[in-house]
A and B are shown apart, each in its own frame.
Chain A
Amino acid sequence: MKYDNLLDKYPIPKALKEEIKEELERLNVNKTTAKKIIEKCYEAYLKNLMEPGEAAGIIAAQSMGEPGTQMTMRTFHYAGVAEIDVTLGLPRLIEILDVRKNPSTPMMTIRLTEEYAKDREKAREIANKIEATYILDIADVATDIRNMRIIINLDEKAMQRKKLKVEDVKKKIEKGLKMEVVEEDGKLIIQISEPSFKALMDTFDKLKNIVLVGIKEIRRVIVRKEGDEYVLYTEGSSLKKIMKIKGIDFTRTTTNNVYEIYEVLGIEAARNAIIKEAISTLEEQGLEVDVRHIMLVADVMTVDGELKQIGRHGVAGGKHSILARAAFEMTVNNLLDAAIKGDVDLLRGITENIIVGQPIKLGTGDVELIAKLGGRR
């Protein structure tokens, strides 16, 4: 407590302040010594700040690029959490930085509100509600070619597990196919009016794709106990639809699809998601990269208020300089387009000045010194 007002004067980050305070409290020093210590810490803090003109972006790129070379090109799909396949390593890192709209293995971690989180049955109930269930999951489907009809043999046990009633299934199918379904001693029968084999098979395919319950994108749900609460892990992801379901604590529910987070929760959430996903991908591979570098990358990707990928359709492609763009990718196309349009390169950036062989505005090159002549003799 007593060190708080001493620290208040210094413009240092909260985390650092707390660290200093903790140490001071442990040492239990008096005010004057504390003041000296804080002063020294502040000095050290200033020395560690990035200097103006320092190439922060290049350092970030190198800091992520070098460990990247140690990552294996091959994807090791491995059971991250509860048998769910997740893309890892370099392919995943590329996916994050490219802002893929459809990542190869979307996954959600769903946490529940208190009422549901403690009870296994209730958690299971929600899992059943969101998992996409198709007719083949709960029944055997056969085609009767002679009578031009499809016979659905419902599996009672599966129905019970999914808490489904025959009535509901019948209604869902009728709605999905826009055809009449007849119930006949526990079986559902769809009669095809047209005597064509193609019509029968088309209806059969359509029937297989009807989602009876759940969210289409959520292919599989796994319930796991974590600490004292049940958490749902899903294969497939649909943040928007999940958030509408009762019993889900959407403040603690996330997906690994960064673009989806951007669409549903906005740019700041996307920034956080990029940092979280990138650092966890690198850490999982045993690579230690300082978060600050990743934070810088995430900042660059989100400055304009929209998610931009690192690449020719995003950050690198948005550069003003023709030469800088040409140096990155598609050299001929960029130069040709610029020539046709009569574009002018103002040579303001780093890349283009290196190309033409001029001093660059970086580090000590960023400042211009003027000598005052005739001052002191």
Chain B
Amino acid sequence: MLVPKHEVLSKEEAEELLRSLGIKKEQLPKIKATDPIAKEIGAKVGDIVKITRESPTAGKSIAYRLVI
């Protein structure tokens, strides 16, 4: 399967994440609002999407993308 799990983070979760990483959200990798999967989960510009990837090395890895 090619598409990993995408979830939109709630406001609190997003704040918590940015605090724990110590970065601004502009520093995250991006995903376009027009991306087919972003549209599918209803992500809006400014949201943070949590992606649970299946990694060949780590088994499971979590990545975040900012919707632009």
* B2 closest partner in A (C-beta): A269
B binding-site residues for A, Cβ under 8 Å:
1-4, 6, 29-32, 35-38, 51, 53, 55-61, 65, 68
A291 at the interface (CB under 8 A from B): yes
**A303 located at the interface, meaning its Cβ lies under 8 Å from any Cβ of chain B in the complex:** yes
Q: How far is it, in angstroms, between the C-alpha of A222 and the C-alpha of B53 when the chains are bound?
A: 32
- Given known contacts A265-B36, A266-B37, A267-B35, A272 and B4 CB-to-CB distance under 8 angstroms: yes
Q: Please, which residue of chain B has its CB at the minimum distance from the CB of A18?
A: B59
Q: Is the CB of A305 within 8 A of B57?
A: no
Interface residue? A340 (CB, 8 A): no
Q: Which residue of A lies closest to B33 (CB)?
A: A305
- Do residues A267 and B59 form an inter-chain contact, with CB atoms below 8 A? no
In the bound complex, what is the Cα–Cα distance between A251 and B56 (angstroms)? 19
B60 to A: closest C-beta gap in Å = 4
Interchain CA distance A96-B56 in the complex, whole Å: 20
Q: A269-B2, A273-B2 are in contact. Are A305 and B58 (CB under 8 A)?
A: no
Chain B contacts for A266, CB-based, 8 A? 3, 31, 35-38
B contact residues around A13 at 8 Å (CB): 55, 57-61
> Considering the chains assembled together, what is the distance between the CA atoms of A15 and B57 in angstroms?
7
A261: interface (CB < 8 Å): yes
Which residues in A have their C-beta under 8 angstroms from that of B3? 265-266, 268-269, 272
Mark each residue of chain A from 257 to 278: 1 if its CB lies under 8 Å from any CB of chain B, else 0. Answer: 0000101111111001101000
Minimal beta-carbon separation of A232 from chain B (angstroms)? 17
Q: Does A252 contact B (CB under 8 A)?
A: yes
Q: Which residue of chain A has its CB nearest to the CB of B51? A: A268
Question: Could you give, for residues 268-312 of chain A, a 1 whenever the CB lies within 8 Å of some chain B CB and a 0 otherwise?
Answer: 110011010000000000000001100100010011111000000
- Asked whether A14 lies within 8 Å of B2 as measured between CB atoms, the reply is no
Residues of A within 8 A of B29 (CB): 299, 302-305
Which residue of A has the minimal Cβ distance to B5? A268
A177 interface hit (Cβ, 8 Å): no
Do A305 and B59 contact each other (CB < 8 Å), given the known contacts A252-B1, A264-B36, A266-B38? no
